[in-house]
Structure 1
Amino acid sequence: PRAPPAAIDRRAPKFSFAPTTRSGRGRAPRLVVAAVVVPRKSEDAPKGGERASSSLKLDDVMRNVRASLRLDDRGVASTGMTWGEGVFLGDPVRWALRHDAGSFTEEAVGPDLSYVSTHCAGADEVWETDHTGYTQVVQLDDHEASLLAAWARTGWWAHPAAEHDVELELGAGAAADGDDARPAPHECEVTIRLRAGGLIVASMYVDTREWLPTRMRMRVCGDDESWSYEDWKNVGATRGGASGDNAKPYPALTTLKGAAGGTQTFRTDGARANSGVGPGYYRRPGTLPGDALGGPERVDPGANPNRFDNAGSVRFDARKRPEVNIEEAQSSHVLVRPLIDGVDVGPFILDTGASGLVISGAAAERLNLRSFGEVWVSGVAGKVPCNFRRGKTLELGPITIDAPVFMEMSVGGIVSGSSEPVAGIVGFDVFKSAVLEVGPGGHPVRLYDPNVFVPPVTWDWKPLLMVSNVPHVAADFAGAPRGKPQIFMIDSGAGGADCIFHARAVRDMNLEKLLPGTKRASSRVRGVGGSGGESSGATRAYR
């Protein structure tokens, strides 16, 4: 379950190979765009509320927004569906967004990638399904960002009945950093956050001439997501839609822009004033990762042949032992040698801090892996663009992954003292449907089938938080603010450091004065994306 916000501090070190775009979301800092002016002469443009006054108040702003979005009109249903074409992580997709009050399901399907993101009103969680069919409950920043992004698109954020879900305030605007954070002369800012301790604050900018949203910004996992909503039309203006009298407006083009790059687009081809599904459509499929604390529950595969299969594309060979052969490196990285399409192309870093699979360009070319799409990946050296590569199989110990998807990027310089150049990184895609055991010092490494695995009684299980497919735990340390646990990533790919604090954490928590011991000489942190695979900056080390 999600840890209570009061018990943890999210301003924690984050070093991950996490895509800067999350599902339909996604998972970057600035979007500099002019506010969209809705054409008054267009027959498709929805009718607006009152014009702005010189002194705005939240109640007046929201009354006008609800009038323009027709949220107060009892003749307009609070359910609906929009659909169209778009681009997700560089892959063309067909998408659909269904909603009924606070419930929603967003689906996108492309030739290589797909996702589903769903929330059922009255439940706390959001669950997502990736292109392999693997489904999980999203947590912390991912959870809040998924709700805010979807409710912004469906209009639920402004609905009178949403007062139990979100808190609204009139934004200061001018106090924000960056020109794109300030409202334009014809805009006002409304901030949105989840009730019951929501930490992410989304800034919704509203055109005060038409009282319709033009753009939204929110900071997630250290990066700013920027959405724009353009060319508002009525549902009744599309083929098969409702009549104009009870039609709802929607943006014909929604765009999400990332920090250092990466743009996701959702162009609407059609809409209707009903979702076409019943309430049960939004309910999640059985027990999912992220539901319960403690160790995995043993399940008898034969007890219920109709049980929910959440293995994704991962298969276990019961004839093979769980042990994985490893190689050591001077940089303290743990290296394994998976077979890609039956070929050993070199050692891969076993990295719990990687949100997926990574392969070097040389290894991908040797295997002739097909290239597609684009993703911006964040590592200790910053954000770098890379393409996807798809193989036929990946084999590691008892595990086989069908049709694995790799991110292609340089991994040179990360590891020192290895027998040969590193060919890639093994991350979340291998771990997601397995129980991973890594012993002290990086050995032994074992992969167990969770459906038949019986954990030793001596194992002490801890709550695991997944953010952007990377595991985190809440941990205590001397000098923690208010004595409360802070969130740390479990990153086996960091190489040589027992604990790394983000510079912001050192500053905000005043850790330089609290860390005992003697400051040592600066050292290099090696990570993906820098020159030669090294980060562009040094770290100060303490013992």
Structure 2
Amino acid sequence: PTMAPTGLLVAVSTLFILALSILRDPKGNKPTINLKTSVRAWSHVKSLPTRLNTIRPPTRYRRASGFRPQGRREWVVSAADAPQGSLEVDYVLDKIYQSVFRGVDIAALPTEIEHLTSAQEDTGKYSIGRNRMRLTDGAFVGRDVETFEENPENNFIFSCGYDGETVWVVDESKFPVELSYDEREAMILGYWIFGSLYTLPHLRKDLQHTIVSDSVELAELGAGENDVVLRIQLRSDKYSSLAYSSIVVDTKTWLPKLSSSTYCNMEKSISLEDWKPSYGILMPTKTISTDSEGKKSTGYLNAVSVFPKENTNAGSNEDESVTDGKYPSLHIDPRNSNVYQKPSSEIRDTYWNTTMPNAVEIRTSRSGYILIPAKIDGEDLGYWIIDTGASSNAITTWGAKRLGLSIFGNDSAKVLGGNAEFTYVQASSLEVGPMKWSDPIFLAMSLDSTKNEGVRIVGILGFDFLSRVILEMRLSGSQSSWAGPNLANLYDPQTYDRDEGLGRLRASDKNAPEMGTTGLKFLSKTAHIEATVKGSNGEPSTNLMMLDTGAGNCLHFDKTKAAECGIVEEKGGLFASTSYFMGAGGAQVKSVRASIDWLEIGGVKLRSEGFDAELLDYHDDMSSAANGILGVKVLDGCKVIINYPQQELGIQALKPDLKSPPRRLFPFKS
């Protein structure tokens, strides 16, 4: 309701307090007035209008139902009463903008702001970095050097950027990856929140804003009685709006003090502390990040540079307390307008021996893994799993010890069935067929789940390997036994001709149908494709699914999300519906089986009596947009081209089922 005038509010409150203060004596005789209670309550009421005015908007911002009490919180904007574009949200954004940018007119703000930062993780990893933000359109670029206490000479160069459309990252793989879905949105929101760009009037059009009023969520965020919580996410008409951030704002200072982000089925919170002015703009000089596993990282803002609008080639640097002189890759040239754009994908750490054949004999393990021989530091220790579901390369701990690889840094990763602990190691070389890769980095970890594959497995070749090679493979091995040989042809991405590759596979089997292709998208550096699945109890549905050749089954889904696609537990039948398997995290994972009628990838329909899906009480999707995982057995009896550099998967069924139902496409189920 509209707020009453101060005088009326005080008068009504006084009468109410006097009524509460009238107490009967124990015998029920004449009433008495507890003056001590009345005076204390009156003092509280006198200060109430003043405290209300600290967060009450001026008349031009008010609506009839805009503000209302919420428990102990004196007055907050209700999300139900404050839809996108309402004046209450604008008021909050304006107050933050005025506090951060100190009332400076938009036209007078610098074009670009650059920060020099340092950070220390509780795992022992520390970093220094630079980031630059362009205030005109929200573009940004960041570069960091990460190193470890155990071995400071081993370090990772990490960079990321946003040019107004594309978001990209380059990590220890040295291969630029274009982010999509939740990851893309989370990266933009993270930079915009740190730089307070979300408050700039000309960037608000790209965002949706609401004020959080749910008492449970407010409590989880630790919002106090003087706080207001603003939720922001990218607009759904331009982005997919899968990630969002909740910002806790102190209404005494109108400065954000905490940001909590939800993306890729994970949560991350960042406290924004010690706001100090630099070039007339307030900035948080200390941050504490906490991820979904409880790992913390403390960051510091050490120096700031600005690049004025009228002279973008000149920057003004404050005294820098941390030097990055030994890391020239951190410097961002202010004269280079392309610094925000995705870097070239050219790889300089691989050598291709053109005198060697492209073909390499591969095998299929008992669980269906694709195994390829390779030499690490010149030694052939066994086979390696080609794993499109792995974001990095891995080597067994016994393999790392046998080679004497030095360890630097340790960490853990979320995997199916829990967390996997690992350390970083670096080899001198990895040779696979005609390709030789210099100075590859591996995660050294236990791979006990591969002990019963009938062959010695040394490690996993994931994104870092697959981004340096194009694989053409024929997978005609059995799903149930040690089978082989099959062949894989390895090609240099710099000289590979896509059309020739497709033609080469078609020519190898003239009776086979046309090869289909579908785009590859990467979430957490794991391959994802669109696939249409027909369960036995529903209509076909098209889903964004992880392609995981490191998973030995056909398909698996989160049980609840699968039901939305008509994929449900199979009741009765010859085989038991419930089973257990060991996840990479070491814990047993319970699953129930569901039948799959057919699967379609890139226009190629796959149908097999052996197709089934594992339904898990476990959420393993990398994105809110994703639903399900395609295991390696889906590709059995197919020819495939795994083309990470050009972000494409080619597939051809060696024994197509021409009697399968006609193709039907349905929207994403997420």
- TM band (smaller chain): 0.7 to 0.9
Residue among 403, 414, 436 paired with 1:400: 436
Task: Say whether 1:234 aligns with 2:277.
Answer: yes
Residue among 460, 472, 480 paired with 1:437: 472
Contact map agreement 1:71 1:78 (CA 8 A) in 2: no
- Residue 110 (structure 2) aligns with: 77
Hey, what's the Cα distance between the residues in 2 that align with 1:516 and 1:138? 43
- Residue 99 (structure 2) aligns with: 68
Report SS of the residue matched to 1:160.
Answer: coil
Hey, what's the Cα distance between the residues in 1 that align with 2:421 and 2:250? 34
Q: What displacement does 1:411 show?
A: 0.6
Task: Say whether 1:456 aligns with 2:502.
Answer: yes
Report SS of the residue matched to 1:444.
Answer: strand
Equivalent position amino acid for 2:244 in 1:
V
- Residue 611 (structure 2) aligns with: none
- Residue 462 (structure 2) aligns with: 427
Contact map agreement 2:534 2:541 (CA 8 A) in 1: no
Change (3 A) 1:151 1:518: farther
Which runs of structure 2 are paired with 1:56-135 in the superposition (5 Å)? 56=77, 57-70=88-101, 73-74=104-105, 75-77=108-110, 79-87=112-120, 90-101=124-135, 102-110=138-146, 111-121=154-164, 124-135=165-176
Q: What displacement does 1:502 show?
A: 2.1
Residue-by-residue CA offset, 1:371-394 (whole Å, 9 max, x unaligned): 223333121112233221111111
Hey, what's the Cα distance between the residues in 2 that align with 1:71 and 1:119? 26
Contact map agreement 1:476 1:486 (CA 8 A) in 2: yes
Hey, what's the Cα distance between the residues in 1 that align with 2:545 and 2:208? 28
Contact map agreement 2:396 2:446 (CA 8 A) in 1: yes
- Residue 211 (structure 2) aligns with: 170
Give TM-score, length-normalised by structure 2: 0.63
Residue among 335, 339, 343 paired with 2:379: 343
Hey, what's the Cα distance between the residues in 2 that align with 1:541 and 1:281? 51
- Residue 453 (structure 2) aligns with: 417
Change (3 A) 1:528 1:314: farther
Q: What displacement does 1:415 show?
A: 5.0
Q: What displacement does 1:172 show?
A: 3.0
- Residue 426 (structure 2) aligns with: 390
Report SS of the residue matched to 2:449.
Answer: coil
Residue-by-residue CA offset, 1:22-42 (whole Å, 9 max, x unaligned): xxxxxxxxxxxxxxxxxxxxx
- Residue 447 (structure 1) aligns with: 490
Equivalent position amino acid for 1:491 in 2:
D
Hey, what's the Cα distance between the residues in 2 that align with 1:410 and 1:125? 37
- Residue 36 (structure 1) aligns with: none
Report SS of the residue matched to 1:512.
Answer: coil
- Residue 305 (structure 2) aligns with: 272
Q: What displacement does 1:146 show?
A: 1.1
RMSD: 2.8
Residue-by-residue CA offset, 1:383-439 (whole Å, 9 max, x unaligned): 23322111111111222222111112211123523223x322111111012212333
Equivalent position amino acid for 2:242 in 1:
L
Residue-by-residue CA offset, 1:49-108 (whole Å, 9 max, x unaligned): x83342333222212111111175214435211102224785322201111110111110
Equivalent position amino acid for 1:352 in 2:
T
Residue among 72, 76, 88 paired with 1:55: 76
Task: Say whether 1:194 aligns with 2:215.
Answer: no
Hey, what's the Cα distance between the residues in 2 that align with 1:367 and 1:264? 33
Residue among 251, 259, 268 paired with 1:216: 259
Equivalent position amino acid for 1:487 in 2:
L
Task: Say whether 1:486 aligns with 2:536.
Answer: no
Hey, what's the Cα distance between the residues in 2 that align with 1:130 and 1:55? 42
Residue among 319, 327, 339 paired with 2:355: 319
Hey, what's the Cα distance between the residues in 2 that align with 1:516 and 1:182? 49
Change (3 A) 1:436 1:161: same
Contact map agreement 2:168 2:342 (CA 8 A) in 1: no
Hey, what's the Cα distance between the residues in 2 that align with 1:336 and 1:100? 46
Which runs of structure 2 are paired with 1:364-375 in the superposition (5 Å)? 364-375=400-411
Q: What displacement does 1:279 show?
A: 6.7
Change (3 A) 1:71 1:432: farther
Hey, what's the Cα distance between the residues in 2 that align with 1:341 and 1:191? 51
Hey, what's the Cα distance between the residues in 2 that align with 1:455 and 1:71? 59
- Residue 142 (structure 1) aligns with: 183
Hey, what's the Cα distance between the residues in 2 that align with 1:464 and 1:279? 31
Report SS of the residue matched to 2:90.
Answer: helix
Task: Say whether 1:472 aligns with 2:512.
Answer: no
- Residue 183 (structure 1) aligns with: 223
Equivalent position amino acid for 2:349 in 1:
S
Equivalent position amino acid for 1:402 in 2:
S
Hey, what's the Cα distance between the residues in 2 that align with 1:149 and 1:366? 42
Contact map agreement 1:173 1:182 (CA 8 A) in 2: no
Give TM-score, length-normalised by structure 1: 0.77
* Structure 1 unmatched ranges of 5 or more: 1-49, 236-241, 287-307
Hey, what's the Cα distance between the residues in 1 that align with 2:556 and 2:393? 23
Report SS of the residue matched to 1:466.
Answer: strand
Hey, what's the Cα distance between the residues in 1 that align with 2:390 and 2:257? 35
- Residue 362 (structure 1) aligns with: 398
- Residue 641 (structure 2) aligns with: none
Q: Identity, % of aligned pairs? A: 22
Report SS of the residue matched to 2:98.
Answer: helix
Task: Say whether 1:329 aligns with 2:370.
Answer: no
Which structure has the highest strand share of the two?
A: 2
Residue among 543, 559, 577 paired with 1:503: 559
Equivalent position amino acid for 1:336 in 2:
I
- Residue 305 (structure 1) aligns with: none
Residue-by-residue CA offset, 1:258-309 (whole Å, 9 max, x unaligned): 22243344311111333842571434257xxxxxxxxxxxxxxxxxxxxx45
Contact map agreement 2:386 2:462 (CA 8 A) in 1: yes
Contact map agreement 1:359 1:425 (CA 8 A) in 2: yes
Hey, what's the Cα distance between the residues in 1 that align with 2:559 and 2:442? 30
Contact map agreement 1:85 1:266 (CA 8 A) in 2: yes
Equivalent position amino acid for 1:397 in 2:
G
Which range is displaced more, 405-414 or 273-282?
A: 273-282
Equivalent position amino acid for 2:594 in 1:
Y
Contact map agreement 2:410 2:422 (CA 8 A) in 1: yes
Residue-by-residue CA offset, 1:449-469 (whole Å, 9 max, x unaligned): 122223123442211111111
Report SS of the residue matched to 2:519.
Answer: coil
- Residue 19 (structure 1) aligns with: none
Residue-by-residue CA offset, 1:315-352 (whole Å, 9 max, x unaligned): 32222222233343222222223212112233322211
Equivalent position amino acid for 2:302 in 1:
D
| Number of residue pairs aligned between Structure 1 and Structure 2 | 454
Structure of greater Rg: 2
Q: What displacement does 1:440 show?
A: 2.7
Contact map agreement 2:131 2:142 (CA 8 A) in 1: yes
Contact map agreement 1:71 1:159 (CA 8 A) in 2: no
Equivalent position amino acid for 1:91 in 2:
K
- Residue 38 (structure 1) aligns with: none
Which range is displaced more, 351-360 or 216-225?
A: 216-225
